[in-house]
Structure 1
């Protein structure tokens, strides 16, 4: 089965691209959503996170304490690396199980902002980088994430792998710049992927 990765920085429109693939009947693995699920339900992972970051990692009712983990790890590169090194192997296993469960599909798509940072690209056959100019991304994010300031958004973008590097490493680029039509770009890729399976 062909495994296609979709990546790009915050605000480029990865989810929109994946929704088009989903409408075409292709199974989509949303790494961010699944990571949150795994962090709530994988008992071994919960123990590892508690051991590494303290009992504040989870609330009394067993829910992930995202605010605590963000405050503890996000601003410290070493702690963030530790957090990722604990979480990513569990998400990788979850992805492998999900692929096995979707083995009748012609191909699958994995959406992941941290495709390269998490080494998830190694599990993919091809990568699509979604691109949007910085001003378009910031405008979208200010409209979508009303709780964030422009400074917050720029800080998040600054921590992610540069778009130029993502585009250079990808086999395909989809431009979501509000100038080029998105659906024809995705349809062309869909047809290309189907021709390979």
Structure 2
């Protein structure tokens, strides 16, 4: 079974594209969603995050997201330390999930595969991209955040042009009908891969 990774910067529309692949019957693993669950349910992660951030990392056994977001906002080293705790656990969880699937290929939707070097572990890379202004507009509509915070996240991610150079397929996500057509074409190609 092939392992395909679907990536793209914040606001590119990875989740929208993932849902289009899911509608075609492809098993989808949303790494960000699973990471959020593991940060609450994994004893190992909770112990390590508490050691890194202090007791404030959790309130009443729930992840203190505002506290963590503020702590890592302008501290790249701290962000990297947190990712070094969470990402290996998510990777192990993904492998267990993948072993339970029965399909020609599975898709892992993940944002920072290039930044952490994990892109080397996939059979195929699909990058979703859109112009920066559109990405910012999408995130402002979706999340309770500011343009400053979005741009800070973008600064910690590789540029689309760098991601595209290392990708097997690229989906330009501007118009849903066009995006759906691109997804169908890539799906047909992936089914032919041996």
Structure 1 residue 188 and structure 2 residue 188: aligned?
Answer: no
Instruction: Name the Cα RMSD after superposition.
Output: 1.5
Distance 2:87 2:154 in 1: 20
Q: Which residue of 1 is the match for residue 174 of structure 2?
A: 177
Distance 2:176 2:50 in 1: 46
Q: Which residue of 1 is the match for residue 5 of structure 2?
A: 5
TM-score by length of 2: 0.94
Offset at residue 150 of structure 1 (A):
2.1
1:47-126 pair list within 5 angstroms: 47-60=47-60, 62-102=61-101, 104-126=102-124
- Residues 166-188 of structure 1, C-alpha deviation per residue, up to 9 Å, x if partnerless? 11111110111239711111111
Gaps of 5+ in 1: none
Q: Which residue of 2 is the match for residue 29 of structure 1?
A: 29
Offset at residue 123 of structure 1 (A):
2.5
- After the TM superposition, which segments of 4 or more aligned residues of structure 1 sit over 6 Å from their partners? none
The counterpart of 2:132, out of the listed 131, 134, 143, is: 134
- Residues 124-163 of structure 1, C-alpha deviation per residue, up to 9 Å, x if partnerless? 1000011101121122222222x22222222222221111
Distance 2:45 2:88 in 1: 10
TM-score by length of 1: 0.93
- 155-164 or 4-13, which moves further after superposition? 155-164
Distance 2:45 2:140 in 1: 33
- 155-164 or 106-115, which moves further after superposition? 155-164
Distance 1:45 1:179 in 2: 37
